[in-house]
């Protein structure tokens, strides 16, 4: 499988565009047919939504209201 990964990279990184595979040709390479199979789209969406919800701000009531601003003046 490591060799399959290198094969994909070597082919896609060809300097000569005529020797580079297009998307359809690339997807036919062994790397994309060897296990492990990619996970389902539903799982990806679920994982991304979960990760995003972990970063959402909590409502102000849970934090004790809005933060008070402290002003500092140089005298």
d(CA 59, CA 62): 6
Q: What is the pTM of this model?
A: 0.45
Are 20 and 11 spatial neighbours (Cβ–Cβ below 8 Å)?
yes
Reduced 3-state DSSP string for 48-75? HHHHHHHCCCCCHHHHCCCCCCCCCCCC
Domain boundaries, the chain: 2-54
Are 34 and 1 spatial neighbours (Cβ–Cβ below 8 Å)?
yes
pLDDT in tens, 3-60: 999 999 999 999 999 999 999 999 999 998 888 766 666 666 665 666 666 556 656 5
> Which pLDDT score is estimated for 18?
95
Cα angle: 48, vertex 50, 55; to 5 degrees: 95
């Amino acid at each position: 499988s490591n060799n399959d990964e290198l094969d994909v990279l070597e082919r896609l990184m060809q300097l000569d565009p005529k020797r580079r595979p297009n998307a359809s040709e690339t997807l036919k390479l062994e790397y994309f047919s060897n296990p492990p199979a990619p996970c389902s789209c539903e799982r990806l969406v679920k994982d991304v939504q979960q990760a995003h919800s972990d970063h959402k701000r909590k409502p102000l009531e849970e934090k004790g209201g809005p933060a008070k601003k402290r002003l500092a003046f140089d005298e």
